[in-house]
Amino acid sequence: MEELQESPHPNARKRSEIEKEQDILLEVKMYLEGLTLREIVDKMSQLRDYSLSLEQIRLDIKKAREGWQAESKELIGEHIFLQLAKLDKLEYSLWQEWEQSGGNIEIVTKRTNGEVYGNIVMEEITKTERKGRDMTYANGILNCIDKRAKLLGLYSETLKITPDNNEDNKGFVFNLVVPAGASPAEGAANG
């Protein structure tokens, strides 16, 4: 771990917002290239007419990381929303096909009754039967439900769903199980 205490640099001054943004971009580039914080401080001192402390570089990179995390969470949320919408559309179509796959069908059977003067006489027997539903659609519907539950984190180790025995509220209780020493937000994020 690098030493945090340094003496104030004689060229220290407050950066403008534009300088701060430019510095963060450059510091992050160096950080991602594998430079240590000390090396970044030295390089930034060579590139700028002002100096930055080790702690300031650390705070700048931390700010950039927090921005990445927030952006990632937003992108993940948008992706999940899009996938849920696709699943809804697919499931709707599967339900329509499921409904149409059942119903009545007519079965026509023809059989001969023998020959009459060289012609074959055919007898038609028509009967109506109830056709079973196509289970392919049911499996597709169940698959949509399963995918939705996974996207929503319902299979998570940190989310436990139990029956609610309360007389006023017949349903389920959703309990967030948090590992010892972790905050509820960390428990949800790890699930």
CB 36 within 8 A of CB 2: yes
What is residue 30's predicted lDDT score, i.e. its pLDDT?
Answer: 93
What is residue 187's predicted lDDT score, i.e. its pLDDT?
Answer: 43
CB 112 within 8 A of CB 166: no
What is residue 82's predicted lDDT score, i.e. its pLDDT?
Answer: 92
Please tell me whether the overall predicted TM-score, pTM, comes out greater than 0.85 for this model: no
Grade residue 58 by pLDDT with cuts at 50, 70 and 90.
very high
CA distances from 55 to 14, 38, 52, 63, 169 (A): 14, 10, 8, 12, 53
- Asked whether residue 173 carries a pLDDT value surpassing 60, the answer given is no
CB 57 within 8 A of CB 44: yes
Grade residue 183 by pLDDT with cuts at 50, 70 and 90.
very low
State the pairing for strand pair 159-164/119-131. Answer: unpaired
What is residue 138's predicted lDDT score, i.e. its pLDDT?
Answer: 87
Rounded to whole angstroms, the Cα distance separating 191 from 189 reads: 6
What is residue 191's predicted lDDT score, i.e. its pLDDT?
Answer: 43
What is residue 86's predicted lDDT score, i.e. its pLDDT?
Answer: 94
Average pLDDT of the residues in 114-143: 73
Residue type, 127: K
Residue type, 4: L
CB 155 within 8 A of CB 148: no
